[in-house]
Amino acid sequence: MDKLKKVLSGQDGTTTDDNSVLQAVSDASTLSWGTRVKGFVICFVLGVLCSILGTCFLWIPGAGLAVFAVMYTGGNVASLASTMFLMGPLNQLKRMCEKTRALATAIMLTCLVLTLCAAFWWKNNGLALLFCILQFLAFAWYSLSYIPFARDAVMKVFSACLN
């Protein structure tokens, strides 16, 4: 369990001056491991519930799509924020910007904003739904980057299906 805590908190044994400053800031504002796990679970469950409720509201005539866009986007933001409880905000942001995740992160965050723009500013239901789908795909691809060889396995499955 200690190894998992060290990996998730970014304490992999390498330290530089920048890391030591960030570590000092992190140490001054850390939560206990139990509190971090509780925060993760609560935030993740709220995110999933918001996404599911948003999908249920999709079928309400009139304002259903706008409510769906807000609930689904809020659910994805909450799910993404839940991992910050485990890793810490700075470590999470660093990992989001790593070479293997940068494109998926950029697409995901862009689609989060575009979903809300399409629902409220442009009032285009088709675009809002398209951006929600792209949000889902980018979030899934981003999440798979944390599982060793998961992206390779998904690509092999899809290439086998296409052949």
What pTM, to 2 d.p., does this model score?
0.75
CA distances from residue 29 to 15, 41, 47, 109, 111 in whole angstroms, order as listed: 19, 20, 24, 26, 31
CB 73 within 8 A of CB 135: yes
CA 119 centroid distance within chain: 21
Confidence check: pLDDT of 12 > 80? no
Q: Which two tokens stand for residue 64?
A: 């259903």
Confidence check: pLDDT of 61 > 90? no
Where is mean pLDDT largest: 51-60, 62-71, 107-116, 121-130?
Answer: 107-116
| pLDDT of res. 56 | 86
Confidence check: pLDDT of 10 > 90? no
pLDDT mean over 140-160: 93
| pLDDT of res. 100 | 92
| pLDDT of res. 123 | 85
Range with the lowest mean pLDDT among 4-18, 99-113, 125-139?
A: 4-18
Q: Which two tokens stand for residue 61?
A: 């005539």
Q: How confident is the model at residue 57 (pLDDT cuts 50, 70, 90)?
A: confident
pLDDT mean over 111-123: 92
CA distances from residue 120 to 61, 97, 134 in whole angstroms, order as listed: 16, 29, 18
Q: How confident is the model at residue 5 (pLDDT cuts 50, 70, 90)?
A: low
| pLDDT of res. 134 | 95
Confidence check: pLDDT of 18 > 70? no
- The single-letter DSSP state of residue 122 is S
CA distances from residue 49 to 41, 69, 101, 114 in whole angstroms, order as listed: 12, 14, 25, 22
Sole residue written with tokens 């706008």: 66
Q: Which two tokens stand for residue 41?
A: 């679970």
Percent of the chain with pLDDT over 70: 82
